[in-house]
Amino acid sequence: MPCCTSRDQSGGVPVNPARTLGSDIIGEDYTGWWVYVAGPVIGAVIAVAIVGAVRGLPDKDEVEAAEGGVLPMTGIPTGDSD
C-alpha cells in the first residue's frame, strides 16, 4: 500500500486527509483545512446538479416517499395479511 502511506510526488499532498489534518493540528498550521471542508461540499453540489440535469426533479410521489410516506407498489405483499 505505498499509495496510501506516501506523499504524491506531483503536489506533496498525502492521499489520506487524516495525515494532513493531524499534522496540521499538532503543528498549529490551519492554512489548508478549507480544502477538506470545501471539497466535499462542492462535490456534493456538483453531483446534485448533474443528477438533477440528467434525471429531472422528483415528482410528488417521490417527495412524499422521501418525507416518510410510501410509494404505491402493486403486486408486492405488505405483510398485513390477517
Give me the pLDDT at residue 76, please: 57
- On whether the CB atoms of residues 33 and 20 are closer than 8 A, the answer is no
How many Cα atoms occupy the beta-carbon half-sphere of 10 within 13 Å? Answer: 2
Q: Which residue has the higher pLDDT, 42 or 21?
A: 42
Q: What is the pLDDT of residues 30-70, one digit of tens each?
A: 887 888 889 999 999 999 999 989 988 888 888 888 887 76
What is the reported pTM?
A: 0.52
> How long a stretch of residues is the chain?
82
Give me the pLDDT at residue 1, please: 47
d(CA 82, CA 12) in angstroms, rounded, equals: 65
- On whether the CB atoms of residues 62 and 56 are closer than 8 A, the answer is no
